[in-house]
């Protein structure tokens, strides 16, 4: 066929088709994969040492491989520690259940939560070391100093020795519970609040009430949140380390031994087969628990609405009667006061001079002043604060820069489904990996690179340790994007930037949650810095720990250091708490 | 929003750390691992401040009772200087240590220290601080009230305890929360009753205290004191969670007990918590039988240099080894320097003189030397206290047998 126009002759020529027709495939551009590269590099900071540890656990002294190293588990001390670690995981699950029930109660009793918010957040914001120190103050066996002992003695004449043999478990669990319960309740409560009223009304009109309603409505709808909560708490339970170190008197630490501490005391250095085997056992326990616990993260149930549109007045939950409201706020106030009491004890102790705090309790009228703060400043507290600020900031920035593109890739990067599943599973496992699995090889590697003592190296390790959880969380947030947007995004790069703009607007809560939580976790960290860089580079917690070696006599100084160390995380979390909770509870999908 | 704020914060921190390059960890600071905490740690910071201008930053790492972890093999985050409270670890850690600078070697060759710090002709440590571990602080007013004198012989001590408890006063605040208090107690009894057995245990390559009859006898003697009903203030459970400052507060602050076994370094704690600053007395461990020498158990902290030691670390050790370096701490109290007898409070002067006096039964702390037993001895004594404390003397024999069995396990 020939076209003639404007003195040009254009001839169209066809070509014969040869070969068989082949089915087309959707184009998967390789570009997005690059987004995952930084995360891969950062994760290898953990993955490679974990691999080294696993190999070391199975390598026998003569170079062959086998289960010989696991004979360490027959060692009664190690067995005892494993038992204690498992008990801690059980405590974590118990707290999840308890928190859920409390959230239900507060949901059915409106107006409770107005006072509760700060009371629940503060314990979560302070470090484990601080809450351990606080509870040791409260349960001090001397009636002049220990709050509980004083009250008990007043009521019954004599008091048990709370920190004594067997009894210290009560104090340990109380401190752990005080730290975490607020977080659990807040998250479940946010989830319950987000259940659309029309759904619950429909259920109600069909006559589904009580336990059955719980089973068919609330439990399935809250599954993603249950996943997040369980994951966080299991990680916390496995990381129990500093709590025991600071709270349990030296003579009883043997009884309170957990796997982490046993590992540290027996390792005191390189990767021997025995300690590697201990680490692997710990890891196996946790990974099993973690994977079961986060199954909620991997099922698409529903996405929680990001912004709850105020519904018609007529379809909202009925406003409770005035009497209910009054009862609710009274109960709420009482609970809040009780819950905040440890913080009050800590601050009041810090405001006494070291001598007064060592002699009498926080309620005594003698010896008020700032002497304890001065004493704390004399052991290098300010320099410690500065280091800690630096490490936390670097870790948070690095984490955000790497986690956001990775989460985007996992959520919409067009990964083949199987790969998405693999990546998610790897991150779940990494999220619960105990520090003991990568500490020793990593420490050696950092030392060999001449970076020993570098705060930047430590910050990178922190970022790597925080990455799995951050990616899982952000992925949930990104994945709950309106499908229309996703479809548009897959049409080309121009669209993708528009989508990202929307994402920034819509998913800021999740980003804020990741940033704030990472900053606070690193700020409060003891174990990662302690095991990776050795003592000295987690200065803030180390100052606290060093002060607490002779506990009661330095109660004032310890309390002052604890108060100073807690200001930044408490202020941060109180300011951003609502956003953090929203970010943590944004929808979820595989 | 938050990102920007954090970024600004990080920039600000980085800018601030410009004036303190060691915050970034870029400037290699000299890291000193110590076992002190609380007031002692603050005093050490003051000693460091008093050294004047050092050309390198110094970082103090309080490791507490876990100070042996400072020698992790291949641990590159090793401290540069370790203030070792257990000089017995020196022979064990020899391949991880570097000899001290030659001009300081003499300091490590003085009496008692030499057999620990001198290995294969080289000196591996410099004594920084000495501790007199046979001191008992008490309240003279209570003794007057009951009409007793500080005991000179072991049997007198049992008698004093009886009289005090009959008068309704708890004689002894025992700080079992600090394991070394229990081992110190036992070491004093052993050194007082069988000095030769003590020596042979201390210098043996494979110590087997459970096979040593003198050791069992010492345990029995000690058990007799602990088991007498009404002896321990607060009973066994309280004793177990009580650290030495708590015990001192019990005696001098709340005045619920009369005596406490605590070393010279307890002095600042005693003075700061004493309700009556004039009611402070001190006696040293009585002899076990009339005519024998009273025991003096010596402890202390030595400066050792993990290998390879940097120039800066050696400089710091030289600076700290200057006799005047510890002056700020000596002025506060609770610090004895090796071989020095001046500048202390009256109580500590007495202790310092005992440390240099001839004719006393002086020996270095046994549990700090028996690194082979790790802290096994502390654990055994802990359980022993639980079995005998306040239970009456008839349980002692059986408890000693159990303790020896446990100890045999530790030894193997």
- Domain boundaries along the sequence of chain A: 32-299+326-585
Verify that B224 and B265 share a domain, yes or no.
Answer: yes
A415 token code pair: 């990964």
Verify that B161 and B253 share a domain, yes or no.
Answer: yes
B79 located within any domain: yes
Give the residue from chain A lying closest to B241, CA to CA.
A249
For residue A354, list chain B residues with Cβ-Cβ distance below 8 A. 272
Total domains present in chain B: 2
Inspect the interface and report whether the beta carbons of A268 and B2 lie closer than 8 Å: no
Give the pLDDT band of residue A3 (cuts 50, 70, 90).
Answer: confident
For residue A380, list chain B residues with Cβ-Cβ distance below 8 A. 45, 60
Q: Is the pLDDT of residue A94 over 90?
A: yes
pLDDT of residue A299: 47
Give the residue from chain B lying closest to A378, CA to CA.
B42
pLDDT of residue A239: 78
Give the residue from chain A lying closest to B380, CA to CA.
A251
Give the residue from chain B lying closest to A556, CA to CA.
B38
CA distances from A31 to A34, A240, A384, A492 (A): 6, 41, 43, 11
pLDDT of residue B1: 41
A contact test, residue of B8, B12, B22, B25 with most A CBs within 10 A: B25
Q: Could you state, in chain order, the average pLDDT of each consecutive group of 10 residues for chain B (412 residues)?
A: 45 42 58 84 89 84 75 64 87 86 82 83 90 95 95 96 94 92 94 92 86 95 94 91 92 95 92 93 94 90 88 92 91 90 91 82 80 79 92 93 92 80
How many Å apart are CA B398 and CA B396, to the nearest integer?
A: 6
Asked if B244 reaches chain A (Cβ–Cβ under 8 Å), the answer is: yes
Q: What is the CATH number of the domain that holds B174?
A: 3.40.190.10
Query: Which residue in A142, A165, A534 is closest to B75 by CB distance?
Result: A534
pLDDT of residue A534: 59
For residue B14, list chain A residues with Cβ-Cβ distance below 8 A. 390
Domain A32-299+326-585, classified CATH 1.20.120.1200, yes or no: no
- Return the sign of the alpha-carbon dihedral for residues B337, B340, B341, B343: negative
Inspect the interface and report whether the beta carbons of A251 and B238 lie closer than 8 Å: no
Verify that B46 and B123 share a domain, yes or no.
Answer: yes
The answer to pTM > 0.75 is: yes
pLDDT of residue B331: 92
Give the residue from chain B lying closest to A505, CA to CA.
B1
Q: Do residues B67 and B303 touch, judged by C-beta distance below 8 A?
A: no
pLDDT of residue A302: 39
pLDDT of residue B16: 43
- pLDDT tens string A290-310: 666 555 455 444 344 433 344
pLDDT of residue B114: 83
- pLDDT tens string A341-384: 999 999 999 999 988 998 888 998 888 999 999 988 877 788 78
Give the residue from chain A lying closest to B69, CA to CA.
A268
- Return the sign of the alpha-carbon dihedral for residues B262, B263, B269, B271: positive
pLDDT of residue A138: 94
Asked if B242 reaches chain A (Cβ–Cβ under 8 Å), the answer is: yes
B10 located within any domain: no
pLDDT top residue among A141 and A65: A141
B124 located within any domain: yes
pLDDT of residue B3: 46
Give the number of other CB atoms < 10 A from CB of residue A338.
Answer: 10
Inspect the interface and report whether the beta carbons of B237 and A165 lie closer than 8 Å: yes
Mean pLDDT, range A89-108, rounded to an integer: 88
Verify that B281 and B155 share a domain, yes or no.
Answer: yes
**Nearest chain B Cα distance for residue A503, angstroms:** 15
Verify that B194 and B218 share a domain, yes or no.
Answer: yes
Inspect the interface and report whether the beta carbons of A400 and B3 lie closer than 8 Å: yes
A452 token code pair: 């020993």
B9 located within any domain: no
Mean pLDDT, range A328-340, rounded to an integer: 84
Give the pLDDT band of residue A28 (cuts 50, 70, 90).
Answer: low
% helix / strand / coil in chain A, to the nearest 5? 75, 0, 25
pLDDT of residue B9: 46
Query: Which residue in A251, A380, A447 is closest to B179 by CB distance?
Result: A251
- pLDDT tens string A73-83: 777 888 888 88
Q: Is the pLDDT of residue A524 over 50?
A: yes
B68 located within any domain: yes
Query: Which residue in A161, A379, A386 is closest to B16 by CB distance?
Result: A386
Asked if A389 reaches chain B (Cβ–Cβ under 8 Å), the answer is: yes
Asked if B77 reaches chain A (Cβ–Cβ under 8 Å), the answer is: yes
For residue B3, list chain A residues with Cβ-Cβ distance below 8 A. 397, 400, 511, 515
Give the pLDDT band of residue A549 (cuts 50, 70, 90).
Answer: confident
Verify that B274 and B301 share a domain, yes or no.
Answer: no
For residue B254, list chain A residues with Cβ-Cβ distance below 8 A. 142, 144, 359
How many Å apart are CA A32 and CA A39, to the nearest integer?
A: 13
- pLDDT tens string A258-286: 888 888 777 654 447 777 888 888 788 77
Inspect the interface and report whether the beta carbons of A456 and B24 lie closer than 8 Å: yes
For residue A353, list chain B residues with Cβ-Cβ distance below 8 A. none
Q: Long-range CB contacts (< 8 A, 24+ apart) of B16-19? A: B16/A386, B17/A386, B17/A390
Stretch 562-581 of chain A: residues touching chain B, C-beta under 8 Å? 576
Query: Which residue in A267, A444, A552 is closest to B249 by CB distance?
Result: A552
- pLDDT tens string A441-469: 887 787 777 666 678 888 888 999 999 88
Q: Is the pLDDT of residue A99 over 50?
A: yes
Give the pLDDT band of residue A115 (cuts 50, 70, 90).
Answer: low
Q: Do residues B174 and B256 touch, judged by C-beta distance below 8 A?
A: no
Mean pLDDT, range A26-52, rounded to an integer: 80
B18 located within any domain: no
B61 located within any domain: yes
Inspect the interface and report whether the beta carbons of B59 and A448 lie closer than 8 Å: no
pLDDT top residue among A144 and B11: A144
Verify that B121 and B192 share a domain, yes or no.
Answer: no
Query: Which residue in A250, A394, A535 is closest to B177 by CB distance?
Result: A250
pLDDT of residue B19: 38
**Nearest chain B Cα distance for residue A488, angstroms:** 27
On average, the pLDDT of chain A sits at 80
Find the domain containing B403 and state its range.
Answer: 135-293+370-411
Asked if A149 reaches chain B (Cβ–Cβ under 8 Å), the answer is: no
- Return the sign of the alpha-carbon dihedral for residues A277, A278, A279, A280: positive
CA distances from B391 to A502, B19, B181, B396 (A): 75, 61, 20, 9
Q: Is the pLDDT of residue A69 over 60?
A: yes
Verify that B110 and B70 share a domain, yes or no.
Answer: yes
∠A168-A172-A175 over CA atoms, to 5°?
140
Asked if A445 reaches chain B (Cβ–Cβ under 8 Å), the answer is: no
Asked if A250 reaches chain B (Cβ–Cβ under 8 Å), the answer is: yes
Inspect the interface and report whether the beta carbons of A453 and B29 lie closer than 8 Å: yes
Verify that B147 and B251 share a domain, yes or no.
Answer: yes
pLDDT of residue B48: 92
Verify that B48 and B182 share a domain, yes or no.
Answer: no
């Amino acid at each position: 066929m020939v076209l003639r126009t404007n003195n040009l002759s254009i001839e169209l020529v066809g070509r014969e088709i040869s070969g068989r027709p082949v089915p087309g495939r959707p184009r998967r551009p390789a570009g997005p994969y690059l987004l995952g590269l930084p995360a891969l590099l950062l994760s290898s900071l953990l993955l490679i040492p974990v691999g080294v540890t696993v190999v070391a656990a199975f390598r026998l002294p003569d170079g062959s491989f086998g289960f010989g190293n696991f004979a360490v588990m027959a060692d009664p001390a190690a067995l005892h520690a494993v038992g204690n670690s498992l008990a801690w995981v059980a405590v974590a699950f118990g707290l999840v259940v308890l928190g859920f029930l409390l959230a239900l109660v507060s949901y059915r009793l409106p107006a409770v939560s107005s006072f509760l918010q700060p009371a629940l957040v503060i314990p979560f914001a302070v470090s484990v070391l601080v809450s351990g120190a606080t509870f040791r103050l409260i349960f001090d066996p001397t009636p002049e100093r220990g709050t509980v002992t004083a009250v008990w003695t007043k009521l019954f004449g004599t008091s048990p020795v709370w920190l004594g043999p067997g009894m210290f478990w009560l104090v340990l669990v109380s401190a752990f519970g005080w730290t975490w319960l607020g977080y659990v309740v807040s998250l479940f409560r946010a989830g319950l609040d987000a259940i659309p009223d029309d759904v619950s009304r429909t259920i109600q009109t069909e006559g589904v009430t009580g336990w059955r309603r719980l089973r068919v409505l609330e439990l399935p709808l809250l599954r993603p949140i249950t996943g997040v909560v369980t994951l966080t708490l299991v990680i916390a339970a496995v990381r129990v380390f500093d709590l025991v170190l600071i709270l349990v008197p030296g003579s009883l630490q043997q009884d309170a031994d957990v796997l982490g501490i046993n590992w540290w005391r027996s390792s005191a250095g390189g990767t021997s087969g025995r300690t590697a085997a201990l680490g692997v056992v710990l890891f196996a326990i946790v990974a099993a628990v973690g994977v079961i616990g986060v199954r909620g993260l991997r099922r698409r149930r529903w996405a929680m609405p990001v912004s709850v549109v105020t519904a018609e007045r007529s379809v909202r939950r009925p406003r409770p009667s005035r009497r209910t409201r009054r009862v609710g706020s009274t109960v709420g106030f009482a609970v809040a006061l009780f819950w905040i009491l440890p913080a009050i004890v800590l601050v009041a102790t810090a405001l006494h001079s070291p001598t007064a705090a060592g002699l009498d309790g926080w309620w005594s009228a003698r010896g008020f002043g700032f002497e304890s703060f001065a004493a704390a400043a004399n052991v290098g507290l300010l320099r410690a604060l500065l280091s800690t600020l630096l490490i936390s900031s670097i870790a948070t920035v690095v984490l955000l820069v790497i986690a956001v593109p990775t989460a985007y890739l996992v959520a919409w990067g067009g990964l083949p489904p199987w790969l998405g599943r693999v990546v998610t599973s790897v991150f779940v496992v990494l999220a619960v990996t105990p520090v003991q699995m990568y500490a020793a090889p990593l420490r050696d590697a950092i030392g060999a690179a001449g970076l020993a003592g570098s705060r930047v190296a430590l910050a990178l390790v922190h970022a790597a340790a925080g990455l799995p959880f951050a990616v899982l969380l952000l992925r949930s947030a990104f994945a709950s994007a309106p499908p229309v947007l996703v479809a548009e995004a897959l049409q080309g790069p121009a669209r993708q930037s528009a989508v990202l703009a929307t994402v920034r607007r819509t998913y800021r809560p999740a980003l804020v949650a990741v940033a704030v939580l990472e900053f606070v976790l690193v700020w409060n960290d003891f174990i990662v810095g302690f095991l990776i860089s050795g003592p000295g580079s987690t200065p803030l917690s180390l100052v606290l720990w060093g002060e607490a070696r002779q506990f009661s006599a330095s109660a004032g100084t310890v309390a002052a250091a604890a108060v100073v160390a807690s200001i930044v995380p408490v202020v941060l979390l109180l300011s951003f708490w609502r956003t953090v909770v929203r970010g943590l509870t944004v929808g979820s999908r595989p | 929003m938050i990102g920007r704020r954090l970024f600004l914060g990080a920039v600000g921190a980085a800018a601030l750390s410009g004036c303190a390059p060691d915050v970034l960890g870029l400037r290699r600071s000299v890291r000193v691992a110590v076992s002190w905490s609380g007031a002692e740690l603050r005093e050490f910071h003051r000693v460091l401040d008093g050294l004047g201008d050092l050309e390198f930053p110094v970082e103090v790492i309080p490791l507490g009772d876990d100070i042996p972890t400072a020698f992790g093999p291949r641990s590159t985050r090793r401290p540069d200087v370790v203030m070792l409270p257990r000089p017995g670890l020196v022979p064990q850690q020899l391949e991880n240590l570097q000899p001290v600078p030659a001009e300081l070697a003499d300091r490590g060759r003085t009496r008692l220290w030499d057999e620990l710090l001198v290995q294969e002709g080289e000196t591996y440590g410099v004594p920084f601080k000495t501790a007199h571990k046979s001191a008992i602080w008490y309240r003279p007013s209570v003794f007057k009230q009951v009409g007793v004198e500080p005991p000179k012989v072991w049997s007198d001590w049992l008698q004093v305890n009886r009289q005090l408890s009959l008068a309704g006063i708890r004689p002894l605040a025992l700080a079992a929360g600090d394991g070394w208090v229990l081992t110190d107690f036992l070491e004093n009894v052993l050194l007082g009753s069988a000095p030769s057995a003590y020596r042979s245990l201390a210098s043996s390559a494979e110590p087997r205290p459970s096979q040593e009859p003198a050791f069992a006898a010492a345990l029995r003697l000690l058990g007799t004191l602990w088991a007498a009903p009404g002896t321990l203030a607060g009973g066994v459970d309280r004793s177990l969670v009580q650290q030495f400052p708590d015990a001192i507060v019990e005696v001098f602050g709340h005045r619920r007990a009369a005596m406490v076994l605590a070393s010279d370094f307890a002095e600042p704690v005693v003075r700061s918590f004493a309700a009556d600053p004039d009611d402070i007395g001190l006696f040293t461990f009585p002899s076990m039988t009339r005519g024998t020498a009273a025991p003096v158990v010596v402890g202390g902290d030595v400066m050792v240099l993990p290998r390879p030691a940097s120039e800066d670390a050696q400089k710091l050790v030289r600076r700290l080894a200057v006799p005047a370096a510890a002056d700020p701490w000596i002025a506060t109290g609770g610090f004895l320097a090796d071989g020095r007898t001046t500048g202390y409070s009256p109580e500590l002067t007495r202790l310092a003189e005992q440390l240099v006096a001839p004719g006393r039964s002086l020996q270095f702390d046994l549990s700090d030397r028996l690194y082979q037993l790790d802290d096994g001895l502390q654990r055994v004594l802990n359980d022993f206290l639980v079995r005998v404390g306040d239970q009456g003397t008839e349980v002692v024999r059986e408890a000693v047998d159990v303790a020896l069995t446990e100890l045999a396990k530790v030894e193997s």
